[in-house]
Amino acid sequence: MTRPLAPRSPARPAAHTTLQKLLSRFHFGITLFAVALSGVAILLAGITTLRSYADRNMELATRVGAYGAEPALVFNDPEAAREGLDPLRRIPGIARLRVLDHRGRPLYEWQSPKGDPSPVLTSLFFPQPFSTPIRRNGSVIGRIEIWGDSSTLIDYVRIGALAGLGCLLVTALGTIILARRFEYELVKPLGEIATVAHDVRLHRRFDKRVQPLRIAELDRLGGDINALLDELQGWQGHMESENAVLAHRASHDMLTALPNRAAFDEQLAARIENAARRDGRFALLFIDADNFKAANDNHGHAAGDAVLVALSARIKETLRTGDFAARIGGDEFVVIVDPLDQGPGAEAIAARIRQIAAQPVALPGGTYYRLAISVGAAVYPDDGGDAAGLLTAADTAMYADKLTNRSHKRQAET
């Protein structure tokens, strides 16, 4: 019967970025926006302040010029106007002067021979001339007009631009440092949580734990993960114990605790493969209790179980390091003597098993029972090159030994 395939979980889309990269781009955008906003604010504040400063200076210059041009208007003397306005002509930042009489006719006009270093700044800060009426005894006798240029502003603009750029750089640097610190404080604990989850998922490392974190929410998450891992580790230990018990039950005899037939078949195949690879030799002993049925019939099944337990314990006493014993049937046992070239041979071990097995067995009712066994031996590869051949040879030898034992018993009775 074909087993249905387990449904596949939907494929997860490949990750296109990391949290750190995402936060970096987010913080870069915030930094760029903050720096741009700060730059615009500083620029507007600087322009407003500089404009106010320039306006006050030009207003002050027109007032000074009005005082200097008043006598010249009274006497209609252009030369006097030139002399009265001479201090203004030496002030940087004044591009043009003009004095008008009460009818609006020019009395005196002057224009700076120096060129305007930045017409853009001039049009921005001095789009119109500054004009002030000239009064005498409360009556308007004329007007003075002054045009400014950027000769004095350009130095302020340069200094302000450098200062603003420095402030922006400091702001950007501080923002980047704080953003990096934020990324480190957030991404590092998340990375630790992800590492623990990755090890648990891929390597079944249920002993891994999330270390205490400084962020309260993430620390609470780490605590929940650790609690879940504690439960998973407990379940894993319980399942491993259950699996070990089930595996032992599947490969061992419940009564004698010796390996069963399935474990013996697996062990015999492995011993044959190993011996074939290294040209080694080992022996297989087949053991059968001759009078076990009489113990069951005469003394009960509890007595029969006691006989089997005692026989298995005595067989284990004869084993060397590397030997293997199993119960493969009701009163049938097998022993693998491997390697055969070291220590006593198969016949010597069989004789020792016969000797130990012949000792009286204490039964539950307080009586004693003397057990007799038959042992047959087969040697790999002399008596068989595979498992079936070895078992057949050992079984045949065991029945031959059983017949011999019966013959001796009949002779002893006669």
Element (H, E) at 364: none
Residues of 210-235 as b/e, b for ≥16 C-beta within 10 angstroms?
A: beebeeeebeebbeebbeebeeebee
Furthest CA-CA distance within the chain: 179
> CB–CB of 397/405 below 8 Å?
no
Structure tokens at 127: 């789009």
Is 331 assigned a catalytic role? yes
Q: Report the distance separating Cα 329 and Cα 288, nearest Å.
A: 9
For residue 178, what are the CA distances in angstroms to 16, 29, 32, 236, 343?
25, 14, 14, 44, 78
Q: Which of 197, 236, 191, 231 is nearest to 213 (CA)?
A: 191
> CB–CB of 110/83 below 8 Å?
no
Q: Report the distance separating Cα 122 and Cα 150, nearest Å.
A: 5
State which amino acid sits at residue 52.
Answer: S
For residue 154, what are the CA distances in angstroms to 4, 47, 358?
84, 12, 122
Active site residue: 331, 338, 383, 386, which one? Answer: 331
> CB–CB of 324/352 below 8 Å?
no
As annotated, the active-site residues are 331
